[in-house]
């Protein structure tokens, strides 16, 4: 088996506040292979974005990575000194944020921002970096890039700005792109283009992509594998077709049941009763147990560990093989 581009093991991220220490990410493990797109879904506050930020080393105090390992192509990148993790950011990991309208500095020409990033990570001359910037803008589908390169961010539409942001994220040919809800702030018609673009770039350059979103449509369309997060943990992870068609974890089942279909079947969408616990009040055992229709005594005391089920991996006591059959 080839080495994964990104390998996260038992990651924990804590936010130390005056009242309590909140654990936003609690024992998350996953791999992303070269050229693979991993979708990360979950409700707001499930720890998706924090996981992405932890990988790129942008967890700011009072937050910190309290346990676990993050490996990029075999070398550990958590706990690197600030200057070294800075060299990884933008160079080996590119990041795309949710809101393209606010991601670009309004006072600088987009060309200057791209050239600045390229020259931070490579030895290219000013003019070579500019030529590369034009190529990049062309690659992300901005028409007349040699003219648009001298435009300011406010002269671009939301979709075009997100293309510029993507150009910035890939300008140093990173091994991994983390896209944090890249389409949430965009029009539906533009969303599809941006998703197609990210997918194409990942394929063309063999870049691994971690796509954080709460849009199951985007996941189904784009990803190779998907991780369903709940309350700081991965509830289920597996190939996208399996997880979407045959979800195992009760939460994943609920989530997939809540996707409307175009067939217009005359039935109500399934709702999961209740809401995700706040970080300060996560119940003992499985965090999903108060909302779970299948919860039994063990779920309330013991935290489930991921269990392999074919190509999927699910953190639920229902799938515990030995003990269940023995009992």
Partner 1 sequence: MLAFTLRRVLQAIGVMLAVGVIAFAMFRFAGDPVNQMVSIDTSAAQRAEIRHSLGLDDPVLVQFGRYFINALQFKFGVSYQFRLPVSSLLAERMPATLELAIVATILAMVAGILMGVYSALRRDTILARLFQAISLIGISLPTFLIGILLIYLFAVTLGWLPSFGRGEVVKLGWWSTGLLTVSGWKAIIMPAITLGLFQMTLIMRLVRAEMLEVLRTDYIRFARARGLTTRAIHFGHALKNTLVPVITVAGLQFGSVIAFSIITETVFQWPGMGLLFVQAVQNVDIPIMAAYLLMVSLIFVTINLVVDILYTVVDPRLRSTVGRAA
**Interacting residues with partner 1 (CB under 8 A):** 56, 58, 82, 86-91, 94-95, 97, 99, 102-108, 116-117, 120-121, 152, 154-155, 165, 168-169, 172
Cα–Cα dist 139/129, whole Å? 15
* Strand-pair category, 6-16 with 21-32: antiparallel
Which residues, 6 or more positions from 113, have their beta carbon under 8 angstroms from its beta carbon?
104, 105, 168
Q: How many residues does the chain have?
A: 327
- Given the complex with partner 1, which of 11 and 170 has the nearer CB atom? 170
Q: Measured from the CB of residue 23, what is the shortest distance to partner 1 in angstroms? A: 22
- Given the complex with partner 1, which of 177 and 252 has the nearer CB atom? 177
The answer to whether the peptide bond before residue 171 is cis (omega within 30 degrees of 0) is: no
Q: Measured from the CB of residue 281, what is the shortest distance to partner 1 in angstroms? A: 28
- Given the complex with partner 1, which of 108 and 221 has the nearer CB atom? 108
Q: Measured from the CB of residue 107, what is the shortest distance to partner 1 in angstroms? A: 5
Q: Measured from the CB of residue 317, what is the shortest distance to partner 1 in angstroms? A: 38
- Given the complex with partner 1, which of 119 and 199 has the nearer CB atom? 119
Cα–Cα dist 272/43, whole Å? 12
Q: Measured from the CB of residue 271, what is the shortest distance to partner 1 in angstroms? A: 33
Q: Which two tokens stand for residue 314?
A: 């699910």
Q: Measured from the CB of residue 108, what is the shortest distance to partner 1 in angstroms? A: 7
Q: Which two tokens stand for residue 105?
A: 């500095």
- Given the complex with partner 1, which of 114 and 134 has the nearer CB atom? 114
- Given the complex with partner 1, which of 150 and 324 has the nearer CB atom? 150
Sign of the Cα pseudo-torsion (57, 58, 62, 63, in order)? negative
- Given the complex with partner 1, which of 47 and 90 has the nearer CB atom? 90
Token match 């971690």: residue?
210
Q: Measured from the CB of residue 68, what is the shortest distance to partner 1 in angstroms? A: 21
Q: Measured from the CB of residue 55, what is the shortest distance to partner 1 in angstroms? A: 11
- Given the complex with partner 1, which of 8 and 248 has the nearer CB atom? 8
């Amino acid at each position: 088996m080839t080495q994964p581009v990104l390998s996260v093991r038992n990651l924990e991220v804590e936010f130390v506040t005056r009242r309590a220490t909140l654990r936003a990410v609690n024992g998350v493990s996953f791999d992303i292979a070269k050229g693979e797109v991993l979708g990360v879904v979950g409700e707001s506050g499930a720890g998706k974005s924090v996981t992405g930020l932890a990988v790129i080393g942008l967890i700011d105090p009072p937050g910190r990575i309290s346990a676990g390992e993050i490996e990029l192509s075999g070398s550990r990148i958590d706990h690197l000194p600030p200057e070294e993790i800075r060299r990884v950011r933008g160079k080996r990991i590119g990041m795309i944020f949710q809101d393209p309208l606010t991601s670009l500095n309004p006072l600088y020409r987009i060309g200057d921002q791209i050239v600045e990033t390229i020259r931070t990570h490579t030895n290219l001359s000013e003019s070579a970096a500019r030529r590369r910037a034009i190529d990049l803008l062309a690659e992300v589908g901005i028409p007349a890039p040699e003219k648009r390169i001298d435009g300011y961010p406010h002269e671009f539409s939301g979709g075009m700005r997100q293309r510029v942001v993507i150009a910035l994220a890939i300008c140093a040919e990173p091994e991994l792109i983390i896209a944090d809800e890249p389409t949430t702030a965009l029009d539906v018609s533009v969303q599809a283009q941006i998703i197609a673009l990210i997918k194409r770039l990942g394929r063309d350059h063999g870049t691994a992509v971690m796509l954080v979103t709460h849009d199951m449509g985007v996941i189904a369309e784009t990803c190779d594998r998907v991780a369903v997060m709940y309350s700081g943990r991965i509830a289920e992870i597996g190939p996208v077709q399996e997880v979407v068609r045959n979800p195992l974890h009760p939460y994943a089942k609920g989530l997939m049941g809540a996707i409307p279909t175009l067939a217009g079947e005359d039935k109500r969408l399934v709702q999961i009763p209740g809401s995700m616990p706040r970080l300060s009040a996560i119940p003992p055992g499985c965090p999903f147990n108060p909302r779970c229709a299948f919860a039994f005594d063990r779920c309330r005391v013991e935290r489930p560990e991921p269990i392999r089920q074919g190509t999927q991996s699910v953190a639920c006591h229902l799938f515990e093989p030995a003990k269940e059959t023995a009992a």
